[in-house]
């Protein structure tokens, strides 16, 4: 039995999107052992993935940390990987290629660096959707892609019955008004106005909740919604995924939870400004839709509520 390596460091939304590609790689190598190189936030999560056999932790220390780099490369080399699927396609993963397989083509190292069409500039290629790029990469590498374009993140779920009982969650609308501090361009400013519109229309029919991350718990107090926590701490990724999947409706900024919602079949909306497009990040599905505007500050709560009211 030979070994296959998949590289996927993050982020959370990217992990959800890559689920179909990982499944296709595994199902095309059923007689092989599948390893995943990932970062600390996703090690425990990927232990749940039925298509991964072993996890290798990459601490992603600076490249000039030669001692760390030496031992990581030594660990990777000992597995004598038959093939590597680089789903991160970053400068770091390309750097690893230059050490592990410097002269390898797509037969050994599958990544944008080896599968980019000869007549296509990388900047032009990157304008295509995330999932279409995965599909091209895998097809060019000889993989049948039955799942790449329709990722299923359900494998990440866990039992949250105790959490739901604690907050008496039966029918609930889940809001994600948060975003990374350096990406405030993604943040829609009218969640409290929306909450009032929801309450005025539906009264007690739906609870309105948030699920803040570890650094968002204090901010969650700014919203007129119930923050769902586990022992006063943020939910882990599996709990969060289940909370999203079992919700009545999700409204989110363009962040990781929005991508989870899209790939667990949740019903909801994600709100996009000019930072990118919903099409490019492959987020719209049958149940999960996007509102795209040039300036999120000009997107009214009434407009978002109108879409929610039509879809819920």
Q: Which domains does the chain have, with CATH numbers?
A: 3-151 (3.40.50.2000), 160-311 (3.40.50.2000)
What is the DSSP secondary structure assignment for residue 228, as one 8-state letter? P
Q: Where are the alpha helices (DSSP H) in 84-160?
A: 91-100, 112-115, 122-125, 130-140
Q: Which of these, 49, 31, 51, 16, lies nearest to 241 by C-alpha position?
A: 16
Q: How far apart are CA 2 and CA 154, in angstroms?
A: 28
Percent of the chain predicted with pLDDT > 70: 100
What is the three-class DSSP state of 35? strand
pLDDT at 279: 86
Asked if residues 293 and 299 have their Cβ atoms less than 8 Å apart, the reply is: yes
For residue 259, the SS3 value is helix
Distance, in Å, from the CA atom of 64 to the CA atom of 297, rounded to the nearest integer, reads 42
Say if residues 227 and 246 touch (Cβ distance below 8 Å).
no
Q: pLDDT of 18-55, one tens digit each? A: 999 999 999 999 999 999 999 999 999 999 999 999 99
| Nearest CA among 166, 160, 123, 120 for reference residue 140 | 120
The mean pLDDT of 87-109, rounded to a whole number, is 95
CA distances from 200 to 173, 176, 193, 204, 305 (A): 14, 20, 11, 9, 11
- SS3 for 290? strand
pLDDT tens per residue across span 220-262: 999 999 999 999 999 999 999 999 999 999 999 999 999 999 9
Task: Give the separation between CA 164 and CA 175, rounded to whole angstroms.
Answer: 16
Q: What are the Cα distances from residue 86, in Å, to 9, 149, 272? A: 10, 17, 28
């Amino acid at each position: 039995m030979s070994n296959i390596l998949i590289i996927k460091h993050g982020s959370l939304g990217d992990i959800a999107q890559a689920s179909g590609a990982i499944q296709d790689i595994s199902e095309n190598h059923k007689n092989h052992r599948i390893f995943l190189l990932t970062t600390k936030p996703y090690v425990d999560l990927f232990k749940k993935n039925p298509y991964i056999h072993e996890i290798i932790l990459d601490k992603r220390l600076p490249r000039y940390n030669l001692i760390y780099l030496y031992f990581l490369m030594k660990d990777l080399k000992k597995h004598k990987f038959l093939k590597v699927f680089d789903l991160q396609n970053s400068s770091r993963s390309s750097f690893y290629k230059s050490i592990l397989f410097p002269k390898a083509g797509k037969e050994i190292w599958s990544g944008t660096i080896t599968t980019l069409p000869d007549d296509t500039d990388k900047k032009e290629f990157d304008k295509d959707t995330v999932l279409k790029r995965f599909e091209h990469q895998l097809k060019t590498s000889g993989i049948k892609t039955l799942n790449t374009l329709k990722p299923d993140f359900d494998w990440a779920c866990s039992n949250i019955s105790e959490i739901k009982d604690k907050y008496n969650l039966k029918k609930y609308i889940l809001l994600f008004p948060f975003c990374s501090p350096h990406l405030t361009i993604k943040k829609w400013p009218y969640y409290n106005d929306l909450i009032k519109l929801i309450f005025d229309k539906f009264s007690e029919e739906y609870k309105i909740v948030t699920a803040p991350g570890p650094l968002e718990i204090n901010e969650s107090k700014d919203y007129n919604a119930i923050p769902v926590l586990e022992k006063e701490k943020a939910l882990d990724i599996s709990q969060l995924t289940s909370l999203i999947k079992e919700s009545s409706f999700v409204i989110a900024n363009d962040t990781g939870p929005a991508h989870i919602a899209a790939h667990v079949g949740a019903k909801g909306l994600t709100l996009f400004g000019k930072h990118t497009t919903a099409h490019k990040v492959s987020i719209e599905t049958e149940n999960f839709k996007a509102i795209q505007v040039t300036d999120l500050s000009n997107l009214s709560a009434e407009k978002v509520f109108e879409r929610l009211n039509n879809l819920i």
